[in-house]
Structure 1
């Protein structure tokens, strides 16, 4: 099931208590929306937000995929979140504060129970562990291999986030301080066979040029998408992670369709000509005047008679013959 996951260029966070903003996310062109039940919802409003998110998942009918970020597994709220939202219409679950492979195994079992309860195929809901600690970042390979449903795994290195506090680097717009970290996590994710790795996160809402540079850097590393926190970021991210149009002049051995059709027609024509020649060989060439015996009537080749004069019948003198009147 994991290999069948669609590629997602942009995954836009939407507060779990603002499900009406899903329309804005879809209008922005987001490939997926992440309804957040963790950081975006205060403790007093989590129960109400959970009900609204479950209703939004059940009514999902558009082309935009719906994900849900649940609460951490060390709280009972995580089980309540999964029981409420794991139903047809849910594309995936973001698992925050992942500590190691054991968290992935536990979440995978809980999702399997929910899928059976709702008559869904096992493994249909994707699981996206969030690597927010030094231990989780170091164990990205083991986390990626802990369950077949793991997908969209990657390094999320936003300014002021959990990763910055856990590792202790000083964030900069160029991203040089996290370049090696993002590269190593991506290598572990690829080695684990996890499909469609995504990165993140750009928190400067108005700096679209910085967002583009950061997205292009992630794309160059090998990531296939990014998490986003504002609808204005979605068009830039989609543009960066969309496949570039291929140029036939830059691909060795490739030719445009019109050239291939012309070559095929030429090959068919040559094949028919060879078939015709084999079936009906050409007739032998007629004997020309140069092959006539010496002294025969008519014109002969001057090279055979030694001159270029008219020849007469045998016994006549060529010097006394006159042309006809």
Structure 2
């Protein structure tokens, strides 16, 4: 990925969404597009029109932190977008080594933490680079998908969201989830522009998902921090959770996501019921899935019991 060109495209996309009224400028002329003109944005940022044009065209070799700050203010970037702009403006890293990047590892203490919150009826999982699902507790796998049953390459949230048809049924607001997931990958691309596995993933999603191509072209960025999600689970019905996403201090590019529910709510009851089924055969409603008889896999530091996985052969993921 050419970071100069990527920064230019990002600046262009943010300028196009900013109207003169939002920028506090009079709009007295007819416009072919709603966004600001280059010279208007350059004036707001206090740089020359020629220099800003070269930035958008990817022809400027560097941009100093004060210039980036001025552009961020002029474009009214939020904290996540500002961080992405600075990522794109950093010098290109050395060429990648010939061998593939080392896989990320999850510490034993993190597995123990996942187990601890599982006993509190809280789904939790660890996301790595490229939205790879590095680890998950039993309740997260019961609620979302059994990523442990997949080959390592397939344990990826973006692949699930965009390429697995069941994700559209699972997420109550799949469109928002899809948009946020693409924006998470875009943020990761700014931090690791030469990651061959990320480039491969983006290529795969672009080929197989029209929705991903559309969201990727929007160049939005998103940081997974906190919020709410609703699921339409095939067994326990609607589940609404609040989530917190925290960077693990001892590991680079690992995010711990923990889901909680309102005490006494129907969603809490649903998760407790789902948790009880992770240690016993699951009675899935007729037509939801077919019985496979396969046992849950064992993970590092985890006891998965003897739950029977219900598997739909037409889906890429297995459900508890």
TM normalised by structure 1 equals 0.23
TM normalised by structure 2 equals 0.23
Name which one, 1 or 2, has greater alpha-carbon Rg: 1
